A and B are shown apart, each in its own frame.
Chain A
Amino acid sequence: MLCLRELQRWKPVLCRYGNTGVRSFAAAAGEAGRTEDGLVNMENPYREPQKGCVLCDVTVDFKNIQLLSQFISPHTGRIYGRHITGLCGRKQKEVSKAIKKAQSMGFMSVTHKNPQFMKDPNVCGIKHLD
């Protein structure tokens, strides 16, 4: 009982931001999507467009060994991980599967990168020492 009285004393301090009572709730929500505090409900105007990975609109094929060779190491022929290629989950899986397929079918080498493709631009975020 005593604490209730004390809460009532503190009520004007705690409820600084205008009408915060159960009575005024319905009225506030009604007008133009404003919250009780007067903020407007809208989508973030500073939101940046979602960035896609490098292969967003590119179909990955086992025949396109030049594209696949961009995601393997030139020294060992190992497939780079997701943290190096920067591809999204789906594309990384597709590339990985296509590389393994091409290697088993005799289209792509396993232990090294085709010397023809050594001069290709570096898509992965890896810097080799040489």
Chain B
Amino acid sequence: MPRYELALILKQMQRPETAAVLRRTVETLMERGALVRDLENLGERQLPYRMTKHNQRHSRGTYFLVDFYAAPSMLAGLLDHLHRDVDVVRPTVLKKDAQVPNSNCCGPQK
């Protein structure tokens, strides 16, 4: 199965609520047959620009990164679900490509 990365920006909330949102997001992923590999917290920081979502203006948010394996057919449904979630400010799913080796980059050959 191809490997994807979900960059999730959550609304500024208390810790138990953030945990609850993450829990239900991962459960949604698993229900749709995804295999969650890794969940990283990139910290709570000020957003680079103010984002409006669900009739709310957000200026601070928490960034999370979810690595998972999934079938490509379920991505559309997943994104639709995430957009409808009130606590999620911006969900983005990216494909994770295998790293191209830097051996033939310009520069001194080691």
Contacts and interface: CB of A to CB of B under 8 A. Distances in A.
Contacts of A91: 105
By secondary structure, the B interface counts as strand
Top-8 shortest CB links A-B? A52-B107, A109-B48, A56-B107, A88-B106, A105-B92, A106-B90, A49-B108, A52-B106
A50 B74 CA distance: 47
B107 A110 contact: no
Contact of A57 (B47, B99, B102): B102
B106 A110 contact: no
Nearest to B7: A105
Interface string A38-66: 00000000000111110011010001000
B4 to A, nearest CB: 14
Given A57-B102, A59-B99, A59-B102, A110 B49 contact: yes
Contacts of B7: 105, 107
Contacts, number: 54
B58 to A, nearest CB: 10
B30 interface: no
A79 B9 CA distance: 24
B51 A51 contact: no
Highest count of chain B CB atoms <10 Å: which of A49, A105, A106: A106
Interface in B69-91: 89-90
Nearest to A87: B106
